[in-house]
Amino acid sequence: MKTTLSLCFLFFASLTWGQSIGPAVVNGPPQALRLPGNPQHASAAPLATQQNLLGSNGSSSAKGERPLWEVAPPPRPTVPLADTARSLRKQHEVVKKATFIHED
């Protein structure tokens, strides 16, 4: 088992050592930094024509339509988590306890 692990370690270590760029950086000739140029520049141009993204459907609103938040029933009030925990604790105290305990 130990020999297998050590052989795997040596194999992977040799793979990573072969990918090292250390010698190429040290012995390589210096190269000047060249930034790519862009011949285009910002300029004023006419806007494109307007396009309808909905196709032929157009607008879906009508006269007299009311948003849902105006006509929907208000949300039910939620019970805070602390109140729920207190009520469960009280119910737990009131519940009858087991009289027979089964042990193996």
- The whole-angstrom separation of Cα 104 and Cα 101 is 10
Could you identify the residue written with the tokens 């130990």? Answer: 2
- The whole-angstrom separation of Cα 60 and Cα 65 is 10
- The whole-angstrom separation of Cα 78 and Cα 68 is 21
- The whole-angstrom separation of Cα 15 and Cα 9 is 10
pLDDT values of the chain reduced to their tens digit, one per residue, 104 residues:
778 877 767 777 766 655 555 555 566 677 888 888 777 777 788 888 887 776 665 556 567 778 888 888 888 888 999 999 999 999 998 887 777 877 87
pTM above 0.85, yes or no: no
- The whole-angstrom separation of Cα 35 and Cα 93 is 76
